Amino acid sequence: MANQIDSLTGQISALADGSSTPVSLAEHSLEQARHQSALNAFVSIEASIVMDQASAATERRKSGRPRSPIDGIPIAVKDNYLTKDYPTTACSDAAPIEPGGVDATIVANLRAAGAIIFAKTNMHEWAFGATNTTSNIGVTRNPHNLDHITGGSSGGSGAAVAAGIVSAALGSDTGGSVRIPSSACGTYGFKPSYGRASRHGVLPLSWSLDAPGPITTALDDIPRLLPYFFGADPKDQSTRSAEAFQAQPPVLRPRLVHLTGRGLERSDEVDATVRNALDSTRAQLCEAELPRISTYFAAWEAILHCEASAYHRRRLEKGAEGYSDVTRAHLEAGKRLTGVELLEAQKVRGQLVRALFDDLPPWDALALPTLPVAAPRHGEDWQKFGGRRVATQDAMTWFCWLGNLAGLPCISIPAGTSLSGLPIGLMLMGRPGRDEDLLAIARIIDNDIGGR
């Protein structure tokens, strides 16, 4: 298609100057979805649903009454967001999900702005995994190499954006599930501070760790979407004090602390790529270690398992046959944890927050690789890096869970590629509630490293 622009920002410009229409964008996305079906990125996609929305958006623009700058832009939605025009299954046979015919708050906000709710994306079953290999419709494949995983649990969203099918997609993040596929697929992924974005209508994995977030082609696309994420929602009490999105000016020389040391190992290739990226920035950079990583990780796992098992308790009691063996094992493990262990984990959570703010050098953002390795191959159960042998599932969450346990805003940006041509991501974590500041810092870093 002529004048097709891959980024959301580019599509906004193309719609504004008339070089593209919502119909042409929708047709292109549908064509690409068909052409790249081997990715297995989508659970539900109906051309009639897409084109009805595109036709309505085109008419609004012809009459000079677009609802917003994103009116007519296709956006894909992870299959754990409720959508009134597509079923929601969380890629599990333990369905159907109730209620039907309802939009999650963020989906409703996007729909009200005229965005085309394009399709539902493949995900790791119930978001309880970080590889996107456990799904009732099969694995999602990495657009850079079909033999490699996308990471998860928002792997379908990451693949759809990386492949240029859509410019943006919705994900959810409990231990890195927006950032992991963003790193593995070479896109941008943002996890808001806990309580900043409404989770209403997003099927939970862990209430106190979950955050919805966007995956995009370009960094500038993220602030164009966050107004539809941020703000108080009476249907989600965790957002009762949430402020609306307000863009911030760039930070001149942000203070970055690169976290390293035991428990934060990474492959030599990833380490060299991230160090090279950080050394090329204008940021004030120092390194620091974070002791007790294994204790903090155990607390994150305990909270995750307890809260997930609590949510699924009634469904499991009715019949566990709809769950995969892997997901059912995780849920049964959570049932064995005690209330005392959960309270101890919450205590450790507070200790992590104090350690991040009291024991490290002054920082505006913390820096880490997003993943310790480039995207593994399908079927690889173990990863070796930094003198460790780590299960692939744990390797995918190796760094990212820190941001969820502490409630920090986090972003993954492309930092380079591996020798085999697979993307490597750089993760930045900001101060809670200071999401706009983190985006301003990320813009400085992304510009300095050339957005590679």
Cite the active site residues: 78, 153, 177
Nearest Cα to Cα of residue 123 among 84, 163, 164, 81: 81
Nearest-angstrom CA–CA distance, 438 and 139:
33
Can you tell me the distance from the alpha carbon of 225 to that of 218, in angstroms, rounded to the nearest whole number?
A: 12
Residue that is written with structure tokens 């808001």 in the block:
192
List C-alpha distances in Å: 379 to 52, 69, 159, 441.
40, 42, 18, 37
SS3 333: helix
Cα–Cα distance measured from residue 73 to residue 46, given in angstroms and rounded to the nearest whole number: 16
| Residue with token string 């959810």 | 172
Q: Residue holding tokens 């003198």?
A: 387
Distances, alpha carbon 222 to alpha carbons 110, 238, 375, 416, 442, in Å:
13, 22, 23, 20, 11
DSSP 234-273: TTBGGGTTPPPP---PPPSS-EEEEEESTT----HHHHHH
What distance separates the 2 farthest-apart alpha carbons in the chain?
63
Which tokens hold the place of 262?
Answer: 């035991």
| Nearest residue to 180 (alpha-carbon basis) of 138, 136, 223, 133 | 133
| Cα within 13 Å of Cα(344), Cβ side | 10
At position 291, the amino acid (one-letter code) is: P
Taking the C-alpha atoms of residue 36 and residue 25, their distance in angstroms, rounded to an integer, is: 16
Token reading at 239: 């957002």
Neighbouring C-beta atoms of residue 268, cutoff 10 Å: 9
Euclidean distance between CA atoms 216 and 187, whole angstroms: 6
| Triad 165, 115, 211: Cα angle to 5° | 80
By three-state DSSP, how is residue 411 classified? strand
CA distance 452 to 423: 9
Q: Which residues pair with 257 in a beta bridge?
A: 286, 366
